[in-house]
A and B are shown apart, each in its own frame.
Chain A
Amino acid sequence: MQAEQISIFIENKAGRLSDVTGILAEAGINIRALAVADTSDFGVLRLIVDNNAKAEEALKNSGFTVRKTKVVAVKVEDKPGGLHRILEILKNARINVEYMYAFIQQSGDKAVMIFRFDQTGEAIKTLMDKGVTVIDGKTLSTL
């Protein structure tokens, strides 16, 4: 049920993000969700795309350090308290969220959040036990 995300190391230099988006555009890859974590020197760009293998290959060929990371895509009710409910479940199960970000597209009337956990399998099981919908990677790339 887990999904895959591509992480890319980029130095904080003008034009580096556009280098990445340029490579992906050229390879015909669609970006579905994105988040940047940064420090004063460097950033880590995290992407969900419609074709991981192709994206990874194109970026590596251009000399980027790329890594695939397991993440979990979760349906979140698009109303006050929607995200809070999910986080409460995780808190009670003592599962740590490393980071999270929002998916661009909705799934039906629900929002989609991407989570990175310290214990991916445990997190998926806990959420599903509580009736939360987890979207698998294949479905995610077709949303």
Chain B
Amino acid sequence: MIFNIEYETMPREALESIQLKRLQTVLSRVYATVPFYKKKLDDAGILPGDIKTLKDLEKIPFTTKQDLRDNYPFGMFAAPMANVVRIHASSGTTGQPTVVGYTARDINTWAELMARALSAAGASRGDIIHNAYGYGLFTGGLGVHYGAEKLGASVIPVSGGNTKRQAIIMRDFKPTILTATPSYALHLAEAAEEMGISFKDLHFKAGIFGAEPWSEDMREEIERKLNLDAIDIYGLSEVMGPGVSIECLEAKKGLHIFEDHFIPEIINPETGNALPYGEAGELVFTTITKEAFPILRYRTRDITTLNPEPCICGRTHVRMGKVSGRTDDMLIIRGVNVFPSQIESVLMQVEGVEPHYQLIVDRKDNLDTLTVRVEIGEKLFSDEVKQLQELENRISKDIKETLGVSAKVKLAEPKSIARSEGKAARVVDNRKI
């Protein structure tokens, strides 16, 4: 089902002409309202009027996560607070979150795009959507929620956690669409099975899974265990939230990017040069309709490819491949973005801790686990086990409070963490995804 036939199947020529018009409008807007962008364009010697073709977009400087941090909290907003109706935030690398805002029209656009995404996965009016994405500062829960209502489906705002209750709701309310992180979906299936509730007997036809990377193998596993079609969704709060791109049920081969609202590019992360369709590189987004938080050439750090070939579903929008990696060291643990540097800054705040640590990420019973090994030096070593355990608990609590992710802290012997060329092998990711 295509929610917006006119825009989603628009011939590319017409689509590109709309993109250019919208790009020119957004450039004039940010140049006039956001000092950060004005300075950036001035420094590059570019005026909004210089952008005459879509190709000219390449002249505009990139925006990075660091820029967002430098302008914390509202410095990048292009609308006055009087027009901002929603604020979301995601975790940042130094404990400082990335803050984004939405006007009423932005919320409406987001709802439309999420409605398109749900439609692409086969949902329509009459479906019951079990939304297990977290509600709160994270964009997942509310993003899906508004899209479901826009579509006219019935949404259960169950949010994350309380797995047993979720299984009972799935059995009794008979939802037909599941939205969750892929790892939580598998966890839910196992927990339900233990309670004697089999997904074979439930009424799900499709699941929309995102907020963390997952492989084709994982798709097979989810489809087999949950007895539904597993659809990949992509989004990030800096660009909008969930619903930036979605796979279609017909092809399940690449995620259609809603190009009437976002212009994607693939660049070489080393040189910053734009790469042609088909080549793998870093995904860059420019939003062309957002009011409160437009963003120009935002470097997502996600590595993927773009495919403009026509799709059997009829949509003309370009498809991005599944995200295959990151250009930085960010980890996604249970849907939470975690940078090793964030853990390091938590550790450094504990007196006597040395900067020798290692993060071990694993997936047990389909849930991500994070173990932080910390070398113990003489300053912190007590010969009383009780005190050492208190130290472990304290670090674990600090990590949870700062990053919002649970971690098991294990004290390690000095020099037991491998150091290669002076730098420790900080991250061991044992997840098979």
Contact = CB atoms under 8 A, between A and B. Distances in A.
Q: How large is the interface on B (under 10, 10 to 19, 20 to 34, 35 or more residues)?
A: 10 to 19
Interface string B376-405: 111001111100110000000000000000
Interface string B128-168: 00000000000000000000000000000000000000000
B411 A67 contact: no
Contacts of A67: 378, 381-383
Contacts of B388: 9, 39, 42, 44
Nearest to B416: A11
A105 interface: no
A37 B376 CA distance: 17
A1 to B, nearest CB: 20
B385 A11 contact: no
Contacts of A133: none
Contact of A39 (B381, B382, B385, B412): B385
Contacts of B383: 5, 7, 44, 46, 67, 69, 116
B67 interface: no
A101 B382 CA distance: 18
B256 interface: no
Main SS of chain A's interface residues? strand
Contacts of B385: 37-39, 43-44
B272 to A, nearest CB: 44
Contacts of A64: 413-414
B378 to A, nearest CB: 6
Interface of A: 5, 7, 9-11, 37-39, 41-44, 46, 63-67, 69, 98-99, 116
9 contacts: A9-B381, A9-B388, A37-B385, A44-B383, A46-B383, A64-B413, A65-B376, A65-B414, A67-B381
Interface of B: 376-378, 381-385, 388-389, 410-416
